[in-house]
Structure 1
Amino acid sequence: MRISEFLSPEAVVADLRARDKQEILRELSAALAQAHPSLKGERLVEVLREREKLGSTGIGEGVAIPHGKLSGLTQLVAAFGVSRQGVDFEAIDGKSTHLFFALVAPENSAGVHLKALARISRLFKNPRFRASILEAPTAEAIHALIVQEDARP
């Protein structure tokens, strides 16, 4: 599974404006809904908020992977956003979060969902890669970096 299979360039936000966790979830959901017009932004926000109630998806090192499952969805979809100023996302290391990878999976897709989470997590463990994403000036450049890094063996 490659990230390019579920992250379209239209769902990448180079400069998130949100200042808190709830606004981040709303902005990422809006990006997802814009890239996938059949999805409703408000429903996506609800799905991501429900998962956050179980515990923060801020995995540390400036990265969060908010995720959830949505009934009626036929394929895995994602949005990615960069917060230049950083947001308190209640990450496990207590640091500000700058890189957000929102993932929404079909309701009955545990295997695909978990594979995608693992792949994203592995990718963003690399500090040089995280730095290059923060330095990228546009959504297109960010998407290209993610696709390029994900293609490495």
Structure 2
Amino acid sequence: MKLSQLLTKESIVADLTSTTKNGIIRELARAVAPVAGIAAEDIAAVLMERESLGSTGIGGGIAIPHGKLNSVTQIILGFGRSKAGVTYDSLDGKPVHIFFLLLTPENSTGGHLKVLAQISKLLKMDHFKQELITAETIDDIHEFILEQDETF
């Protein structure tokens, strides 16, 4: 599944301002709420519930907060960037700069895993991560993700 089919400019935050894990999750939830048609508080709650099972900070400056909601009818993707970095209980203990938020319907195990795999594949490329960190605008971030996504 292509990220370009899921990511809209409206669900991108180019400069996250929160300095805590909870704040980042709430900020990302507010960005995707209009796209998902679900209250930001409900999104944040399911993401925090998932975080309680173990951090989605996978290391290398990356976190992929994700969760499943019955009220979600299709896969929703959001993106956020923290230029300063946020302490996020990452596996490597380092600050997180790049966040991909993923919401899926409760019964969408296959789709959920395919999107996580695609995100992981792209984030293994150092130039991809660097470009996301240095991109100047939401348009630049969106365009770059779409371009890279189409090469796979």
TM bracket, shorter-chain basis: over 0.9
After superposition, where does 1:9-88 map in structure 2 within 5 Å?
9-36=9-36, 38-88=37-87
**Unmatched 5+ stretches in structure 1:** none
- The TM-score, its normalising length taken from structure 1, stands at 0.97
Distance in 2 between residues matched to 1:30 and 1:6, nearest whole Å: 17
Q: CA RMSD in A?
A: 0.8
Shift of 1:4: 1.4
Task: Give 2:97's aligned residue.
Answer: 98
Q: Aligned residues: percent identity? A: 47
Aligned residues: 152
Task: Give 2:128's aligned residue.
Answer: 129
Distance in 1 between residues matched to 2:57 and 2:128, nearest whole Å: 18
Q: Which runs of 4+ in 1 moved over 4 A?
A: none
Partner AA of 2:94 in structure 1: K
Distance in 2 between residues matched to 1:41 and 1:5, nearest whole Å: 22
- The TM-score, its normalising length taken from structure 2, stands at 0.97
Deviation digits for residues 74-98 of structure 1, max 9, x if unmatched? Answer: 1000110000000011111111100
Shift of 1:72: 2.1
Distance in 1 between residues matched to 2:126 and 2:45, nearest whole Å: 31
Distance in 1 between residues matched to 2:90 and 2:74, nearest whole Å: 28
Local SS of the residue matching 2:99: strand
Partner AA of 1:25 in structure 2: I
Task: Give 1:118's aligned residue.
Answer: 117
**Unmatched 5+ stretches in structure 2:** none
